[in-house]
Structure 1
Amino acid sequence: MTYVITVSSVNPRGGFIKAGNAEWMKHVVSLDFDISDVIQGKENRLLSLDDVPEYFVLKRARTDLPDMFWGSAQLIIVSERYRDIIEDLDPGVHQMWPMEIRRRRAGPVPGKWFGLNVRARAKTIVKERSSVQVSRGGTQVFGIVTRSMTFIDHMKFNLAVDETIEVGHNLWWDNTLDEAALFCSDAFHDAVVEAGLKSIPFKKCVS
């Protein structure tokens, strides 16, 4: 069975934590590509360490952090234990680099943290049986919409997948829709749960 990892700033359970880095955001503007397209699954490329943040600053003080969360600069951040599961199940596939998570007054958050660039891609979503939203916007010629776009319904996250498609990895972005969805295998889900890690919530997909 496949699970979707419900990365969402809309859904209250979507694993979003307000964290930023003003210096890095200024750097992003100077890049010749949109780094958010890479770290949110639209484009697949290996990032230069010169192009990724070294730290994030939490907007609000916290006594602890989940082992996987999504920061306000659109980057997914994981703990060392979560990183180890990723590397154990998909060795050498995904890109991860060390990061420091800072608090405004209390100093760095204890432990080791890593930015995550998921490199695997697949197209397994069955749109006709999934909860999606269609945007009729886009380029118009003489008042006629030339393209519609299909997005995830973030309040439901009910996604149907074709289980007959061999993905070959345990963590991947699905690019069937205009918005990428982060998926994982049974083995990945079970390893995170058995380790007792706090993750962006999982939701079982429909086959």
Structure 2
Amino acid sequence: MVWCLMKPQGFGDYWPDGEFVGWKEPLKKYYDNEMPHEKKVAMGMTKRIYYSEFSKKFSKDLGRLEAVECPKEFLTIKKYNNLADLIDTQDRLLAVSEALKSIIEDVEPEVHQFWPLKIISRRGEAYPVNYYGMVVGRFLDSFDYEQSRKENWRHSGDSYVPRSTMKKKDFSEMVMSAKVIGGAHLWREPKVSKINLYFSDELQERIERAGLRLFKRYKLKDV
């Protein structure tokens, strides 16, 4: 079986309100003094720096982040006491607790990128649980639109967009190709909008057994 995780709606324990601190300054220094010209050309930044071009790598299939591209601190506007084990931060960068990171690395080692991300409130209080920025390293095209219930979807450019009224039963009619998925445990589907991540059944079971808190998720159909 396959599971999908939806994006969190509104700020809270799954999406703490805040911003990166100390991220742009090192990037500007890197751009001015060390960034290869061919990389500036590839990212469309020959005349000036665009921080949004760096943050695209948080959620798109653009390769691993260099150390200078990884945010190190996330400053929240309020103190959070019970953050989920998977959270959204800024610019679609996901962060995971150490417990979730360990499970992901155990079932799928050396596929995804992690680095320490310190979460701090505006009062300077560090969140007591270790978190890590995460860039998903696997992108698949396993959604089978032809075998799915087409009434649940609309096209937008090259993407498929689920109806906003989709319920649990509707997601159970979302068909994924087992052949394309193969032995993958965690991935993104660039051609499907509004759905954040996809999990294998094994990863879902490990997360459930550990009692971890994640975004709302639905069981899909794989054939």
1:21 equivalenced with 2:23 (yes/no): no
1:174 equivalenced with 2:189 (yes/no): yes
1:37 equivalenced with 2:51 (yes/no): no
**Local SS of the residue matching 2:178:** coil
On the 8 A contact 2:120/2:126 being kept in 1, the answer is yes
Amino acid at match of 2:80: R
Identical-residue share of aligned pairs (%):
21
Q: 1:164 is matched with which residue: 167, 170, 179? A: 179
* Structure 2 segments unaligned to the other structure (5+ residues): 29-47
Q: 1:151 to 1:22 in 2, by over 3 A?
A: farther
Q: 1:80 to 1:149 in 2, by over 3 A?
A: closer
Which one has the bigger helix percentage? Answer: 2
Q: 1:126 is matched with which residue: 129, 137, 144? A: 144
Q: Which residue does the alignment assign to 1:5?
A: 5
Q: 1:195 to 1:25 in 2, by over 3 A?
A: same
On the 8 A contact 1:7/1:15 being kept in 2, the answer is no
> Which TM-score applies when normalising by structure 2?
0.74
Q: What is the Cα deviation at residue 22 of structure 1?
A: 5.1
What RMSD, in angstroms, separates the aligned Cα atoms of the two structures? 3.0
> Which TM-score applies when normalising by structure 1?
0.79
Q: Which residue does the alignment assign to 2:95?
A: 77
Q: What is the Cα deviation at residue 181 of structure 1?
A: 4.4
**Local SS of the residue matching 1:4:** strand
Question: 1:14 & 1:111 partners in 2: Cα distance?
Answer: 13
Amino acid at match of 1:7: K
Question: 1:62 & 1:178 partners in 2: Cα distance?
Answer: 29
Amino acid at match of 2:56: D
Q: What is the Cα deviation at residue 8 of structure 1?
A: 4.2
Q: Which residue does the alignment assign to 2:106?
A: 88
Amino acid at match of 1:198: R
Question: 2:73 & 2:51 partners in 1: Cα distance?
Answer: 22
1:110 equivalenced with 2:128 (yes/no): yes
- The structure that has the greater radius of gyration is 2
